[in-house]
Amino acid sequence: MDNDSISVLLIEDNPVDIEIIKTMLKKAIDIDFILKCSNNLSDGLKSLIQNNIDVILLDLSLPDSDGIETFAKIKAHTPHIPVIVLTGHMDDKAIAMKALRAGAQDYLLKGQINKTMIVRSLRYAIERKRAEEFIHALTQKFIRLQENERSKIARKLHENVAQDLSSIRLFCENLFSDDIKNDKIKKVSSMLYNVIKNIREISYDLYPATLKELGLIPTIKIMCSDFSEKRNISTQIHTAGVENLKFSYEKEINIYRIIQEAFKNITTHSCATNVTLRIVGASPNIIFRIDDDGIGFKVTEELIDNLSEERTGLRNIEERVKMMGGKSRIKSTPHAGTNIYFEIPVK
C-alpha cells in the first residue's frame, strides 16, 4: 500500500455483489483501489500468496466454506492482513459479531453498503490493524525485556548472593566448630541455610536454570513434582511424542511461564485436589492441556482481555501463545473445574 493506492482482495461468489463493490471502489475519489477477486476460499488463499494484499473483503458463505469457519481459515492463513466481513442478511449479524470478536476489523451488510461507507471501512481497517500490530509488537517486546531482566536478576541471586551466603555459613561453622556456644552457631547455620534455600527458590522462580541444563520437558516435569509436593495437590503429567522436540529459547521460556501461570491460578483460586497436564507432539505442533478439578469460574472476554495492571494471568497466557503463533482456549465451568488448552508450532 502507498498513500494513493490500496490493494483489496474480494472473496465473493455472487457476481452481482462483485459488480456492485467493483463499481463503488472505481468511483472512489483520491484513492486508487486495486481490486483482485476470488470466487471461493481456496482461490482466495492462493491469491493471498501471489499478491501483495492490504485488506480482505470476505463473504462468509462461499462454495467451499461457510460461516465463521471461513473467517477462521483466512485468519489462520494470513493473521496480519485486516479482514472486513461481508454478510448477506440481517440474520448473519450474529456470525459477523463472532467474526469481530475473533479479530475481524469490521463487517458490512451487503444490501446497505454505499461508496463512502466501504471506502471508510477499508481505510479504517488498515489503520486499526496497524495500531493493533504495533501494540502487539510492544507487548512482545515488553515480555522479552522482562524475561531478560528476570534471568539477569536470577543469575545474580544464585551466583552471587546465595554463593556468598553459603561461604559465610561455612566460615561460621568452621570458625566456631569447637566453641561452647555450639548450639547458637548451629542455629545461625540453619537460619543461613533457610535464607540460601529461599534465595535459590526465588532465583529459580525468576528463571529456571534447568531450562538450559536439561531442556523444556524435564523442567516441566520438575515443576509438576514440586507443585504436587508443595501444594499438596495430586499432579499427573502425561507426555507423548515430545522426546525429540527442540524449541527455541523464547518458546521454552514462554511455555514454561504459561504453565507456571496456570499452576499459580490453580493454587490461588481453584481449591483443586487433582491436576493433569498433558503434552502431546502433533507435528508440526505441540499441544498442552492443563485440567484441574477445582471450583471453576465463568470465562468472560472481559476477564481475558482485561487491561488493568492486576489480573493479568489469563491475558498473559493468551498473549504468550499468540506471540508463538499458536492458539489457546480457556474453558471453565463453575463447580466443574478448569481446562487450559494451547497449541503452538514447534518450529
Ligand X SMILES: Nc1ncnc2c1ncn2[C@@H]1O[C@H](COP(=O)(O)OP(=O)(O)O)[C@@H](O)[C@H]1O
Site residues for Mg ion per CB under 5 A = 265, 313
Nearer to ligand X, 159 or 305 (CB): 305
- Is-contact 247 346, C-beta < 8 A? yes
Q: Name the 3-class secondary structure at 301.
A: helix
The verdict on 303 binding ligand X (CB under 6 A) reads: yes
Rounded to whole angstroms, how far apart are CA atoms 330 and 322?
14
* Total site size for ligand X, rule CB under 6 A: 17
Task: Indicate the angle between helix axes 115-156 and 313-323, nearest 10 degrees.
Answer: 100
For residue 146, CA distances in Å to 141, 143, 320 come to 8, 5, 13
Nearer to ligand X, 292 or 319 (CB): 292
**What is the smallest separation between the CB atom of 338 and Mg ion, expressed in angstroms?**
12
Nearer to Mg ion, 82 or 313 (CB): 313
Nearer to ligand X, 74 or 321 (CB): 321
- Looking from the CA of 227 toward its CB, the CA atoms found within 13 Å total 28
| Gyration radius from the chain CA atoms | 27
By a kind-dependent CB cut-off of 5 to 8 A, residue 4 interacts, out of ligand X, Mg ion, none, with none
Closest CB to ligand X: residue number: 313
**What is the smallest separation between the CB atom of 332 and Mg ion, expressed in angstroms?**
13
Scan residues 52-91 and list those touching ligand X (CB under 6 A): none
Cα 200-206-212 angle, rounded to 5 deg:
85
Q: Which residues pair with 274 in a beta bridge?
A: 234
**What is the smallest separation between the CB atom of 342 and ligand X, expressed in angstroms?**
14
Nearer to ligand X, 184 or 331 (CB): 331
Place of cell 503452538: 344
Interface pick for ligand X out of 204, 247, 297, 342 (rule CB under 6 A)? 297
Scan residues 311-330 and list those touching ligand X (CB under 6 A): 311-314
CB within 8 Å of 255: residues ≥ 6 apart: 216, 220, 247, 288, 324, 344
Q: Name the 3-class secondary structure at 52.
A: coil
By a kind-dependent CB cut-off of 5 to 8 A, residue 44 interacts, out of ligand X, Mg ion, none, with none
**What is the smallest separation between the CB atom of 80 and ligand X, expressed in angstroms?**
27
Provide the edge-to-edge strand list for the sheet that holds 234-240.
234-240, 274-282, 285-292, 338-345, 327-332
Rounded to 5 degrees, what are φ and ψ at 230? -70, -40
Nearer to Mg ion, 126 or 330 (CB): 330
Nearer to Mg ion, 4 or 309 (CB): 309
Nearer to ligand X, 178 or 301 (CB): 301
**What is the smallest separation between the CB atom of 313 and Mg ion, expressed in angstroms?**
3
**What is the smallest separation between the CB atom of 269 and ligand X, expressed in angstroms?**
4
Nearer to ligand X, 284 or 334 (CB): 334
Task: Indicate the angle between helix axes 68-77 and 93-101, nearest 10 degrees.
Answer: 30
**What is the smallest separation between the CB atom of 205 and ligand X, expressed in angstroms?**
16
**What is the smallest separation between the CB atom of 180 and Mg ion, expressed in angstroms?**
51
Scan residues 232-291 and list those touching ligand X (CB under 6 A): 265-266, 268-270
Q: What is the DSSP string of 216-282?
A: HHHHHHHHHHHHHHHHT-EEEEEEES-TT----HHHHHHHHHHHHHHHHHIIIII--SEEEEEEEEE
The verdict on 292 binding ligand X (CB under 6 A) reads: yes
**What is the smallest separation between the CB atom of 260 and Mg ion, expressed in angstroms?**
10
Task: Report the interface residues with ligand X, using CB under 6 A.
Answer: 265-266, 268-270, 292, 294-297, 303, 310-314, 338
